[in-house]
Amino acid sequence: MKGKMKAQLFYGPEDVRYENINIPEIGDDEALVKIKSALTCGSDLKTYRRGHPTMIKEASVFGHEWAGDIVEIGSDVDNFKVGDRIVAVNSVPCYECYYCKLERYSLCENLIYNNGAYAEYIKIPGKILKKNTYIIPDKIDYREAALLEPLACVAHGIEESNIKTDDMVVINGAGPIGLMFIALARLKGALVISVDLSDERLEYAKDFGADYTINASKESDQVAAVKELTEDKKGVDVAVDATGIPEVWEMTILMGRKGATINLFGGCVSGTSVNIDTQLLHYSELTIKGVYHHTPYYVKKAFDLITSRQIDTVKFITADMPLEKLVSALELMGQQKGIKYNITT
Ligand SMILES: [Zn+2]
Ligand SMILES: [Zn+2]
């Protein structure tokens, strides 16, 4: 399809411009999609504020959580057609590298990325169409389906957290990802403690099923406050970080009981490090792990969670905003107002 489209372009930190650019041209194994919903994400906010390593070119399209309609399709694509309502995630593993052969797909050395949801149209690479794209059932809205990517990351994080029924789980951070952790931990039958600095976010946390909330700004010792809620103040069975703040990583480790699983999920700024008490790690037999991104298996799991309505997708979307107002939506997220914004064209 030839012609121009509106898009929000990232030029550099705090420099995003609303411009007219060419509609992407597609190859034989690709598809062109008219975006119907694009959701704001914490990582877009990070990109907006401090740039992103994968966006080195001047003027990049960005935004990666979306759903829309196929308007043009390459001659080699046989699993989709023009008119299909689809949702896809932002990457696909190569299936060829060392880590893909180990089936550690989130560690793929050649992940193929796709950005550009903050625009009228987006091109879908062939490999993503083959492995990480789904047709949206009629009963599901575009904006609900657009939660696929973050939910796939969290489904991955939850599975790696080793949660059992009736476990006490603390989730540090009640942003969009922390709230998804709360919803999925509840589905696993856990009791959930949510810790955040904002009362507004802690209200969301309760709404998503948190059994206890702690406002960290009102506690002199948030580790003690969490332990206070556990049997004999032992600490929690599972502790998750969804903040990406090194100091919170350190506290997350201290919140676990002996034998706890500690999932340090939130990515921190590069170059940072944390201190771990060697005696604690050794004698308490802690399992401390990092979990990153998603794999096609968890994308499918997340798609099933959305379409079976096991989680209340609509609650994650605070308001609709037109594409030209993207920066305002990101600023609102930066002020911790609302959860996600649905950007529409
Ligand atoms: Zn995202
Ligand atoms: Zn690979």
What is the pLDDT tens value at each position of the chain, 345 positions in all?
Answer: 899 999 999 999 999 999 999 999 999 999 999 999 999 999 899 889 988 766 556 789 999 999 999 999 999 999 999 999 999 999 999 999 999 999 999 999 999 999 999 999 999 999 999 999 999 999 999 999 999 999 999 999 999 999 999 999 999 999 999 999 999 999 999 999 999 999 999 999 999 999 999 999 999 999 999 999 999 999 999 999 999 999 999 999 999 999 999 999 999 999 999 999 999 999 999 999 999 999 999 999 999 999 999 999 999 999 999 999 999 999 999 998 999 999 999
pLDDT for res 58: 72
Q: What single-letter amino acid sits at 187?
A: L
- The three-state secondary structure class of 246 is helix
CA of 38 to the centre of ligand 2 (A): 27
Closest-lying ligand to the alpha carbon of 111? 2
- Spatial distance between the Cα atoms of 279 and 324, rounded to a whole number of angstroms: 53
- The three-state secondary structure class of 19 is strand
Closest-lying ligand to the alpha carbon of 112? 2
CA of 113 to the centre of ligand 2 (A): 12
CA of 340 to the centre of ligand 1 (A): 10
Please name the helix (run of DSSP H) or strand (run of DSSP E) that holds residue 207, with its range, or none. helix 199-207
- Spatial distance between the Cα atoms of 82 and 195, rounded to a whole number of angstroms: 45
Classify residue 293 as exposed, middle or buried by CB count within 10 Å of its CB (0-12, 13-18, 19+): buried
pLDDT for res 59: 86
Residue 49 · residue 86 · CB < 8 Å: no
CA of 258 to the centre of ligand 1 (A): 33
Q: 242 is written with which tokens?
A: 């969804």
- Ligand 1 (ion): residues with CB under 5 Å are 41, 150
Terminal CA-CA length for the chain: 18
Tokens 């759903």 — which residue?
Answer: 67
Closest-lying ligand to the alpha carbon of 97? 2
CA of 65 to the centre of ligand 1 (A): 6
pLDDT for res 51: 80
CA of 92 to the centre of ligand 2 (A): 9
- Spatial distance between the Cα atoms of 198 and 283, rounded to a whole number of angstroms: 35
Closest-lying ligand to the alpha carbon of 99? 2
Closest-lying ligand to the alpha carbon of 117? 1
- The DSSP result for 117-147, as a single string, is -SBSEEEE-HHHHHHSEEEPPTTS-HHHHTT
Q: 158 is written with which tokens?
A: 């939850």
pLDDT for res 56: 57
CA of 41 to the centre of ligand 1 (A): 5
pLDDT for res 251: 98
Classify residue 218 as exposed, middle or buried by CB count within 10 Å of its CB (0-12, 13-18, 19+): exposed
- Considering the entire predicted model, what is its pTM? 0.96
- Spatial distance between the Cα atoms of 28 and 26, rounded to a whole number of angstroms: 7
- Supply φ then ψ for residue 101, to 5 degrees: -65, -30
Q: What single-letter amino acid sits at 337?
A: K
Closest-lying ligand to the alpha carbon of 151? 1
CA of 242 to the centre of ligand 1 (A): 13
CA of 234 to the centre of ligand 1 (A): 34
Please name the helix (run of DSSP H) or strand (run of DSSP E) that holds residue 343, with its range, or none. strand 340-344
Q: 96 is written with which tokens?
A: 């060829």
CA of 150 to the centre of ligand 1 (A): 5
Q: 74 is written with which tokens?
A: 């390459």
Q: 41 is written with which tokens?
A: 């994400």
Closest-lying ligand to the alpha carbon of 65? 1
CA of 44 to the centre of ligand 1 (A): 7
pLDDT for res 27: 98
Closest-lying ligand to the alpha carbon of 100? 2
Ordered by where they begin, the domains of the chain are: 4-149+294-344 (3.90.180.10), 161-290 (3.40.50.720)
Residue 342 · residue 65 · CB < 8 Å: no
Q: 128 is written with which tokens?
A: 């993503």
Q: CA–CA distance from 92 to each of 7, 89, 334 (Å)? A: 24, 8, 29
CA of 116 to the centre of ligand 1 (A): 12
Ramachandran category for residue 244: left, alpha or beta (phi over 0 → left; psi -120 to 50 → alpha): left
For helices 42-50 and 326-334, angle between their N-to-C axes, nearest 10 degrees: 100
CA of 110 to the centre of ligand 2 (A): 5
